[in-house]
Amino acid sequence: MAVKLAVIYYSSTGTVYELAKAVEAGAKAGGAEVRLLKVRETVPEQGVASNPKWAAHLQATQSVPEAQLDDLEWADAVIFGTPTRFGLPAAQLKQYIDSAGGLWFQGKLANKVASSFTSAATTHGGHESTLIALNNTFYHWGAIIVPPGYNDPVQFQTGTPYGTSFVSNNGELTPDDAAKASAQFQGRRVAEIAAQLLAGRS
C-alpha cells in the first residue's frame, strides 16, 4: 500500500509553491500517493492587491485545493512549506496548524512522518529558525521528524540539513535547479522512510 503524503504549503508570490511542486514530484518518485494543498489566504483582498506578484500568484493557483483537516488525518506523512516571517512560519500556515487541535487531542497526529521546507528573502533571513519552529509542532504531535540531512550530494550545494530552503533575493529569484533537486530529494526521502515505517507496523 502506497504511503499517503500531504504537501501542505503557504506561498504569497510563488517561491514556496515552486518548491512544493518539486517536493511533490520527489514524493511521487518515492512511491507515495500525494496531495498538493495550499492553506487559505487570510490577508484581505486589498492587501493582496497592493502587491502585483501576490495578486498574480493567488490568481494563478486558484485550481490548487485548499488543505482541510481531513487531509491531515488522511496522511501518513506531512511536509509543510512556508516562507519565513520574522524567523517564524507564515500566519496563514500557523492558523491551519492551530485548527488541528481536535485531531491532536484525539491522538490522530501521533506517529505521522513529518518534515518542512521554507524560503526567505535574504541569506540569513530566518530559514533555520522557521524550520525549527515547525519542528516544535511536530514534537507536540508526537510525530517522527525526517529531515533531509546530508544524505544526498545536492545537500552540500544547498547548505542545510534541516529542510529545503531558498534565498529569493526579496522575491526577485525563483528556485534554481539545486533548490528544486533538494526539494525533490526531501520529498522522496520522506516518502521512502514513511514506507519503511508503515511496513514495519504491518
pLDDT along the chain (202 residues), means of 10: 95 94 98 97 86 87 96 98 94 97 96 96 90 96 97 91 90 88 97 94 67
Cα 104 to Cα 188: distance, rounded to the nearest angstrom: 26
Question: And the C-alpha cell for 34?
Answer: 500525494
Cα 54 to Cα 73: distance, rounded to the nearest angstrom: 30
CATH code, residues 4-201:
3.40.50.360
Per-residue pLDDT tens digits for 33-63 = 999 999 999 988 888 888 888 888 888 999 9
Nearest to 20 by CA among 34, 2, 8: 8
pTM of the shown model: 0.96
Q: Classify residue 93 as exposed, middle or buried by CB count within 10 Å of its CB (0-12, 13-18, 19+).
A: buried
What local confidence, expressed as pLDDT, does residue 45 receive? 83
Residues of the chain by 3-state class (helix, strand, coil), percent to 5: 45, 20, 35
Domain boundaries in the chain? Answer: 4-201
Cα 117 to Cα 183: distance, rounded to the nearest angstrom: 8
Whether 153 contacts 118, CB under 8 Å:
no
What local confidence, expressed as pLDDT, does residue 202 receive? 61
